[in-house]
Structure 1
Amino acid sequence: MAVCKPDFDVIVIGAGISGMYQLYLLREAGLTVRVLETGGDVGGTWYWNRYPGARLDSESYSYQYAFTKDLLEEWDWAEHFAAQPELERYYQTVADRYDLRKDIQFDTRVTAMTFNDGTDDWTVTTEAGQRLTARLVITATGVLSAPIYPHVPGMDRFRGEVHHTALWPHDEDVEFEGKRVAVVGTGATGVQVITEIAKTAGHLTVFQRTPNWAVPLNNEPLSSGEMAEIRAGYPEMFERLQNTFSGFLHDWDPTPTTDFDDAGLRERFETAYRGHGFTKWIGLPADIASDATANRKWCDFLAGKIRGRVTDPKTAELLIPDDHYFGTKRVPCESGYFETFNQDNVDLVSIKENPIEEITETGIRTAQGDIEVDMIVYATGFEAFTGALKRIDITGAGGRTLQQAWADGPVTYLGVQVSGFPNLFIMGGPHGKGGHGNGPRCAERVLEWMAEFAERIFTEGIRRVEADPEAEREWSDEVQRRASSGLMAQTKSIYFGDNLPDENDPEATPRKRVYLAYIGALNEYVERLRTMARTGYPGLLISK
């Protein structure tokens, strides 16, 4: 009996930054590709996250595609740290320039994927009931693309406006002027949106569960002269970005804090504080990332800055973290965030001191009373790394689901494959470098590795590729071992899934606490993949 040829060589899930480049590379390799995208256009993060204040904290010019040689010569960034509208225009321009949309199916949510043991291909099912087949499926669903809401009774009762920062309206303007607004969440997104809403809201109430070590972004416009100078240095810049720890322009300073006297360390910190973006994180003395005493010196410095910027001493103390070391959570970059709390129209509610009990028809009920609002904005983040994949019903060989495979947390081989799920490749999921660095730079070499391997699969007649269970176990154990020895392991964060709402749900099944990202250096991770390719792909079971 004849076997039907799959509809496509490769199906890619997601048309964000990674999915777009993966499509470009696979087409260059001569493969037939269809990209399935939930949204109405390209851009991923910068299509969905259009809330007020949404902005990069990686320098704009370090975040763009390196392969677009002609566009690099033409595109002038307006600011050191681009805002969402400029980023969305940029990725739309890339799609236009390389005619990517012809192979992208928009407004298409993937609900299920099933591996066919008899034919060694995948059937992908969409929400509309469409079924497509492909030999390979590559997921590019993003590290932060599965929004979560808090576990609070009565959320469906509220009669006013409700928005989640990751699901901001595309076809309407959200107005804050004269309205009573509540923002729930003070992470990286919350810090941005709170600062903007406070500028026009009649009254803003900020609900903070835990404060974060936010640092100044220090954004500035880019002049034509500065842009010309940056452009002239692109070749060296892109090379450098592949060799810094996390793909940022900034890298850890090998000079430890102990090499400075008190005055010298203070000046070192002041210089960093005045610098752009992550000079105040990745650009610091390296022992701050690993040594509690060094880290505390920087925390004390930042606490002093917060006390100097916030007028009310009690509010200042509420905004100073006391539960984690600096950098063990995602560090927000801010532009006037702390001064926001000096405004008469802004109140801060500490959920630790005054817990939210329920959402009512007219507002939020806390332990100390009702707060009536016209709008609630949830800046409550994402089920990071695994959420987008777990929300698809993925069934591998023998009928085993990804939910079953990851019941105790994700297991992968080098972050790109899972045993029992042949011909399925994960780009930018758990155990990859993307969650700890500059997204495009962390994805670039991995996507190129994937495209080269995909071409080889088809030219060499390979039918089936999957992770060896033993190699998967060794890699997953290494990921956990490396993360457990540092300061990050002492902190509740998205990197361990501690932000998921069921941690406060007494009826929820307790989760095993596992690390979701990869804590090593970018070039080290890329070299692991390259070495695997050079040596015949050890750790993968390959059938021709």
Structure 2
Amino acid sequence: MTPATLQTSPVTGAASATWDAIIIGAGMSGLYQQIRLRELGMKVRVFEAGTGVGGTWYWNRYPGCRFDSESYSYGFSFDKELLQEWSWSEHFAPQPETERYLNLVADKYDLRRDIQFSARVKAARWDEVDRLWTVTLDSGSRHRSRFLITAIGALSAPTMPDFPGMDAFEGEAYHTGLWPKAPVDFTGKRVAVIGTGASGVQTIQEVAKTAAQLTVFQRTPNWCAPLHNGRIPPEEMAAIRARYDEIFRRCDETFSCFLHTPDPRNTFDVSAEEREAFLEKLYSERGFGIWVGNFKDILTNRAANEEISRFVADKIRQRVKDPKVAELLIPKNHGFGTRRVPLETRYYECYNQPNVALVDTRATPIERITPTGIRTSDAEYGFDIIVYATGFDALRGAFDRIDFTGREGATLKEKWQDGATSLVGMLQDGFPNMFMLLGPHTALGNIPRSIEFNVDWVTRLLRHLQENSLTYVEARPEAVARWMDHVMEVAQGLLSMEVDSWMTGVNRNVAGRQTRVVARYTGSAPTYRAWANGIADRGYAELVLA
């Protein structure tokens, strides 16, 4: 289908809508929103920067990339038939399998006919006269729609460090979030990995298996916990299929939509022996239980957090043979769980291998990238491949890369210059008819569970507009202010708010991201859903409808 461009009325000369809705992004949220809008009979166009569907699971194809939510809690829940047809091969599926899954969804619902690939959105401007959005692509083509829906993800804007000489490197260089489709062979190569966040940890585990020499450049160590992945045999998959209603009901009930939720006890409610046994149990179990299924006070009580931090630090010391290396891998500037916890498979054991070395860039900073490698303040290293596992401009970064202009010429960048705001993470005053599926201050956690709720919420609102012959919706400023007061309130007392991380809006690789803010919603998913559903149940009084 050839995308339509601007149309002009032969009677009035005014521009008219080419589409009822434009969706930016063909990842999980964009695909599901596309399905739901079709059910409303809407004419939809999706613009996707990549050449295929999948979003996160299209771009992030680096070695070792996989879920850290249980696979069977991650897929779409809305299609009962698909749930029975699809088999997950592992408890935490690898990227290629997830990409195949999302391609199956696109095939089953014939979604590609409404998607324009290799189409990066440059700008979106609200037309106050026609009450339409004009979306401009990098190619220069412009497209008009009544409604604009961003499905651009919370972790989708990769960031690169600003080392001198990066362009002069003569070997291969890759960012984990922009990995090529062609395989990268590390066999017998000298490889550098810069960064030890979640993507860095997963990459390091794989590269260490074949590289002649792997040098890890670490600025800030992270608390990592075992993934305990495993294959899912057919009989177990059959049992999982029989429990899908129970699995998704459990996700709806838990704090972060994972299969794990905080233990009702406080850390010091039990004896030291019981506490140690409980932590050992969590450390031996699959997934995020040790982070989000731990004692309920580990993220608010300093002494409790010190206890779990001590426990995990001891595990690192037991697993890493060189005591000096072990100490470098133990965080000293934040407690366990106050930043995002990467899950790993023999990550710490990598540092016991003779082909793996660790460089502490706080002690010996990287000074520049040379044509043949990396120079720090005390040494020069030669490399064939450099991997930048330097993360993303999280939460609002993807929004900042598009020039959104709302009413009266106000831009979203200006609106958010002192920190992003929203109404339940999905609407913003001053930006009519625009919906953010994973906008700031939505409930994150197990992302697809948030996606399904948010898409259904937006769809319910659009149905309400249709049924009442309305074409305009905007969040009231006072409603945004009340929501933001709630966002600030639930963040009080969290130890994570004392820590610099993408979860508090701090990113040293991005200019203007040095001030700590409440960058995300830290309350429970059930509380978030109740607040959002309350808006709908009250007849959308918090919104301007026309």
Q: Which TM-score band (shorter chain)?
A: over 0.9
Helix, strand or coil: the match of 1:286? coil
* TM-score, length of structure 1 as denominator length: 0.96
* TM-score, length of structure 2 as denominator length: 0.96
Aligned to 1:397: 407
Equivalent position amino acid for 1:258 in 2: F
The answer to whether residue 136 in structure 2 is matched with residue 133 in structure 1 is no
Matches within 5 A, 1:230-379: 230-379=240-389
For residue 393 of structure 2, the aligned residue among 378, 383, 386 is 383
Helix, strand or coil: the match of 1:11? strand
Between stretches 489-498 and 210-219, larger displacement belongs to 489-498
Are the aligned partners of 1:31 and 1:455 in contact in 2 as well (CA < 8 Å)? no
Aligned to 1:173: 183
For residues 414-441 of structure 1, the C-alpha deviation after alignment (integer angstroms, 9 at most, x for no partner) is: 111111111111110211112xx00101
How many Å apart are 1:181 and its aligned residue? 0.7
How many Å apart are 1:472 and its aligned residue? 1.5
Are the aligned partners of 1:115 and 1:421 in contact in 2 as well (CA < 8 Å)? yes
C-alpha distance in 1 between matches for 2:96 and 2:513: 40
C-alpha distance in 1 between matches for 2:94 and 2:236: 18
The answer to whether residue 545 in structure 2 is matched with residue 537 in structure 1 is no
For residues 330-358 of structure 1, the C-alpha deviation after alignment (integer angstroms, 9 at most, x for no partner) is: 10000010000001011100111111111
Aligned to 2:502: 494
Equivalent position amino acid for 2:499 in 1: T
How many Å apart are 1:311 and its aligned residue? 0.6
The answer to whether residue 480 in structure 2 is matched with residue 469 in structure 1 is no
C-alpha distance in 2 between matches for 1:135 and 1:114: 12
Aligned to 1:211: 221
Are the aligned partners of 2:195 and 2:389 in contact in 1 as well (CA < 8 Å)? yes
C-alpha distance in 2 between matches for 1:102 and 1:510: 39
Aligned to 2:452: 444
For residues 449-487 of structure 1, the C-alpha deviation after alignment (integer angstroms, 9 at most, x for no partner) is: 101111222332223211212221232233234324310
Helix, strand or coil: the match of 1:501? coil
C-alpha distance in 2 between matches for 1:513 and 1:313: 33
For residue 522 of structure 1, the aligned residue among 525, 537, 540 is 525
Question: Could you tell me the percent identity over the aligned residues?
Answer: 50
Equivalent position amino acid for 2:345 in 1: S
For residues 34-72 of structure 1, the C-alpha deviation after alignment (integer angstroms, 9 at most, x for no partner) is: 111111111111111000000100000000101121111
The answer to whether residue 66 in structure 2 is matched with residue 58 in structure 1 is no
C-alpha distance in 2 between matches for 1:198 and 1:382: 24
How many Å apart are 1:509 and its aligned residue? 5.7
How many Å apart are 1:374 and its aligned residue? 1.2
For residue 460 of structure 1, the aligned residue among 440, 462, 468 is 468
Helix, strand or coil: the match of 1:86? helix
For residues 395-426 of structure 1, the C-alpha deviation after alignment (integer angstroms, 9 at most, x for no partner) is: 11111111111111111111111111111111
C-alpha distance in 2 between matches for 1:459 and 1:194: 53
C-alpha distance in 2 between matches for 1:364 and 1:484: 42
Change (3 A) 1:512 1:345: closer
Helix, strand or coil: the match of 2:46? strand
How many Å apart are 1:4 and its aligned residue? 4.4
For residue 110 of structure 1, the aligned residue among 104, 117, 121 is 121
C-alpha distance in 2 between matches for 1:429 and 1:418: 10
Aligned to 2:175: 164
Change (3 A) 1:510 1:59: closer
Unaligned runs of 5+ in 2: 1-10
Between stretches 140-149 and 480-489, larger displacement belongs to 480-489
Are the aligned partners of 1:179 and 1:202 in contact in 2 as well (CA < 8 Å)? yes
Aligned to 1:505: none
C-alpha distance in 2 between matches for 1:510 and 1:318: 26
Equivalent position amino acid for 2:501 in 1: S
Equivalent position amino acid for 2:70 in 1: E
For residue 43 of structure 2, the aligned residue among 17, 32, 45 is 32
C-alpha distance in 1 between matches for 2:247 and 2:356: 42
For residue 99 of structure 2, the aligned residue among 82, 85, 88 is 88
Are the aligned partners of 1:355 and 1:366 in contact in 2 as well (CA < 8 Å)? yes
C-alpha distance in 1 between matches for 2:289 and 2:133: 45
Matches within 5 A, 1:502-521: 502=510, 511-521=514-524
Aligned to 2:202: 192
For residues 500-539 of structure 1, the C-alpha deviation after alignment (integer angstroms, 9 at most, x for no partner) is: 414xxxxx66754312110011111111111101112132
Between stretches 414-423 and 111-120, larger displacement belongs to 414-423
Aligned to 1:9: 20
For residue 483 of structure 1, the aligned residue among 483, 491, 494 is 491
Alignment size in residue pairs: 535
Equivalent position amino acid for 2:165 in 1: G
Unaligned runs of 5+ in 1: 503-507
Helix, strand or coil: the match of 1:440? helix
Aligned to 1:144: 155
Between stretches 12-21 and 258-267, larger displacement belongs to 258-267
C-alpha distance in 2 between matches for 1:444 and 1:540: 22
Helix, strand or coil: the match of 1:479? helix
Are the aligned partners of 1:480 and 1:514 in contact in 2 as well (CA < 8 Å)? no
